[in-house]
Amino acid sequence: MSGADDRRDALKRIGAAGLVLGGAAVTAKLRYDAGGFGLATPSGERQVRDFREDVGDGAVQMAIAKSSTDAAELTRKAIEGLGGMKKFISRGDIVAIKPNIGWDRMPVHAANTNPHVVAEVVRLAFDAGAKEVVVTDASCNEPNRCFQRSGIWRAAHALGATVVLPAEHRFRSLRMKGEVLDEWPVYTPLVNADKVINVPVAKHHNLSKFTAAMKNWYGLLGGRRNRLHQNIDVSIADLATFMRPTMTIMDATRVLLRNGPQGGNIDDAKDMHQVVASLDQVACDAYGTTLIGEKVENVKYLKMGHERGIGNMNWQQLKYVEV
């Protein structure tokens, strides 16, 4: 199955069962803007779900952890480089974590987020006082296999996270009012939260050239997403305009250098032992392109995100640290 395969078939395979792994269903309060689901917003105004915290001027915007081969330690150091999880998560928060769990692949293939990175984010969120931590994605391949074979189901559930498999009833139509994404089914567990942490894996993509933070929001959508591939860069920019996460944690512990996004040949991936924590999803992706030898200017959605004011594609201009 290729990256162009739509997710509807995968959702239908799990049907109305709506499996919830590791705990009760999501009960988070809604954080919609004044329009809300199915309601009109002022003409021409894009909808935004903003989960960011005000960290003040002069704060570190990106932390690049390289000083270990242990994925959990790298994750912890990267988040500490931004000031620590307690700077972003408050006691009682319901936190949604969005890894890439798109593919029926093992961690060695580097097609999904490293389960140890996801687990450490879960642990730190609970340590910061989170009431509930939800881990979910709308997979490309059959979700049950993706969640298990990636190792993410087991790793997150072991720490008490609520692991949610996608089902059609969890999507609600929303008028996003983007250039490509107008009205579309949106995956509610990822917007029904107090805080949202994006945890992508850095890798090559055969259509968009690179995928990590901004492209990872494709897992927010239901319906026939393959239609968006005809204008993939604009659709990625629309999604990143819509979703402003609390934080992005980019897994670059092992990076898929070619034949992405699905991969399958372990020789296509390389151990790089890096985790990047960022408050700027555009800058995070711009740095990520350097890991696969791609030029920032060749990744069109980065320029679009920069021009829209989502973030800064010139990541070296930000205040960043290496830890």
Average pLDDT over residues 254-277: 98
- Answer whether residue 12 shows pLDDT above 60: no
| pLDDT tens digits, 147-169 | 999 999 999 999 999 999 999 99
37 pLDDT band (50/70/90 cuts)? Answer: very low
Per-residue confidence (pLDDT) for residue 38, from 0 to 100? 35
The rounded mean pLDDT for the chain is: 89
Q: What dihedral do alpha carbons 6, 288, 78, 99 form, nearest 10°? A: 0
277: tokens are: 């924590």
Distance CA 106, CA 90 (A): 33
- Answer whether residue 40 shows pLDDT above 80: no
Per-residue confidence (pLDDT) for residue 15, from 0 to 100? 39
Between these two residues, 153 and 1, which has the higher pLDDT value?
A: 153
Per-residue confidence (pLDDT) for residue 44, from 0 to 100? 56
DSSP string, 134-201: EEE---SS-HHHHHHHTSHHHHHHHTT-EEE---GGGEEEEE---SS-SEEEEEGGGTSSSEEEEE-E
Residue 188: which region, alpha, beta or left (left: phi > 0; alpha: psi -120 to 50)?
alpha
Q: Which of 4-8, 136-140, 175-179 has the highest mean pLDDT?
A: 136-140
- Answer whether residue 18 shows pLDDT above 50: no
Q: Residue 13: in which H helix or E strand, if any?
A: helix 8-14
Tell me how far the alpha carbon of residue 173 is from its chain's centroid. 20
Find the range with the poorest average confidence among 14-23, 121-130, 300-309.
14-23
- Domain 59-322 in CATH 3.30.70: no
45 pLDDT band (50/70/90 cuts)? Answer: confident
The position carrying tokens 């894009």 is: 46
Per-residue confidence (pLDDT) for residue 10, from 0 to 100? 41
Find the range with the poorest average confidence among 12-16, 33-37, 88-92, 170-174.
33-37
Percent of the chain at pLDDT > 70 equals 86
